[in-house]
Amino acid sequence: MSDDMEPLPDGSGAVARPSSNSMRPAELPHRRDQPTTGRRDDGAILGQRYVVEEPIGHGGMSVVYRAHDLVLDRPVAVKMLALTDDPRLRSELRVEARASGKLNDPRIAQVFDYGETVNSEGTAAPYIVMELVAGEPLSRRLSGGAAMPWRTACAICGEIAQALTAAHRQGLVHRDIKPDNVLITDAGVKLIDFGISASIGSADSTRTASSSAPRPT
């Protein structure tokens, strides 16, 4: 089963939708008015570092928020995944997020951090902190009906291939390559949705990737 979602021009990558029956919709921790840094914000604080500002997209089992990194003073995207009481699933998500975070290619949206927040019932909700990318989804550019110039199409495909090559060299596969997950930025192509990828040769029985990036809220 997949979500019908549309990427945002200023958003981040797609959401991986876990298939476990133990999953519940993601939620934010209670708001705090004053982070430990002394800066005052109305948003929730994740990991005493990320100030959640506003939702920029959502899927069936996750929500993506625009946030601010208090330590490095920069905007980021935070993907809140579903609540889960399955420690094995959380461990796999953490391992894959760590592997994705090692990808260093200008054509791939970076994964900065992984964490977990706990609700009042003691159930954990994993979250992934990612690069906030400004760009136009390739799917939107193709939706106008006019044919794309072949030189442009070849250049885009070439950059996508280079991004995938860089990931494959690190032993990661994307699992969901399509126009929704390709952003056209001022600097070129940016491949998104590497927040939850899969290691080459690894079992993938506990999760299925969703079909696209977050849709607007």
176 a catalytic residue: yes
Q: Do 65 and 78 contact (CB within 8 A), yes or no?
A: yes
Q: For residue 56, give the nearest of 74, 78, 83, 30 by alpha carbon.
A: 78
Q: Parallel, antiparallel, or unpaired: how do β-strands 124-130 and 111-118 relate? A: antiparallel
**Catalytic, out of 3, 113, 176, 193:** 176
Cα torsion angle, 10, 145, 6, 179, sign: negative
| Helix, strand, coil share (%) of the chain residues, nearest 5 | 20, 30, 50
Q: What is the DSSP string of 163-205?
A: HHHHHHHTTEE-S--SGGGEEEETTEEEE---SS-EETT----
- For the annotated catalytic residues, the residue numbers are 176
